[in-house]
Amino acid sequence: MEERQRSHEISRLCGELSEAYEHLAYEQQCVRHHEVCRQFGIEASGGGWAGMGPCGIGRRTLEVRAEQKLRECAEQRGGRLSRDVTKLASDTSAQQASIAQLGARLMRAKKAHAQRDKLRANADKQTQMLHSKLKLTSGEDVASQEVDEYGAPMGSSDGGTAVLSRSNKKKGASASTGKLPQLSF
């Protein structure tokens, strides 16, 4: 996890560094342009033919060429920035789609987990009820067991079904053996 964070931080810093280099190059181009413009202003008053710059090219021609270079550099930078914005927008939409898919998977997993918990709780109740019935049918004395505040035997969380079964058993006069009586004629 730390390594992933570290690599993410390194890539972010590399991106910032490259942006700083691009910005520096653009600013250097702007400075060169302004130096050329200033230089022509000084040389024009220094001497030579009126309106002529170095190498026999007119001052205005040199300014136009410098402005063209600056404009090209600005257009390239603008294109690069718009490409980066487009890429970031597509990355953002892809991440949002991924988040939506993961959210849906999480909800399905939570529902499945809740269903399993319900099934497990029902199975626990049935198991406890069967254990209490087994104790009653095996002849274990439930009356001698300790009883909790709800009237259920201690160690049993069946909600008192064993106590109800015991009271129903005592009310009957005799227990059935499951055999039919024999009739004599």
Q: What is the DSSP string of 2-58?
A: HHHHHHHHHHHHHHHHHHHHHHHHHHHHHHHHHHHHHHHHHHHHHSSSTTB-GGG-B
Instruction: Please report the pLDDT score of residue 94 as a whole number.
Output: 92
**pLDDT tens figures, 151-179:** 555 555 554 444 444 444 455 455 667 67
Q: Read off the pLDDT band of 81 (50, 70, 90).
A: confident
**Chain-wide mean pLDDT for the chain?**
76
Instruction: Please report the pLDDT score of residue 25 as a whole number.
Output: 85
What is the rounded CA–CA span in Å between residue 19 and residue 81? 10
Q: Amino acid identity, residue 76?
A: Q
What is the rounded CA–CA span in Å between residue 106 and residue 84? 32
**pLDDT tens figures, 25-70:** 888 887 887 777 677 654 544 444 445 555 556 667 777 777 888 8
Instruction: Please report the pLDDT score of residue 90 as a whole number.
Output: 92
Sign of torsion, CA 40 71 69 26? positive
For the ranges 105-109, 120-124, 156-160, which has the lowest average pLDDT?
156-160
Whether pTM > 0.85 for this model: the answer is no
CA angle 129, 134, 137 (to 5 degrees): 125
CB-CB contact of 174 with 166 (8 Å):
no
CB-CB contact of 153 with 162 (8 Å):
yes
Decide which of 114 and 174 is more confident.
Answer: 114
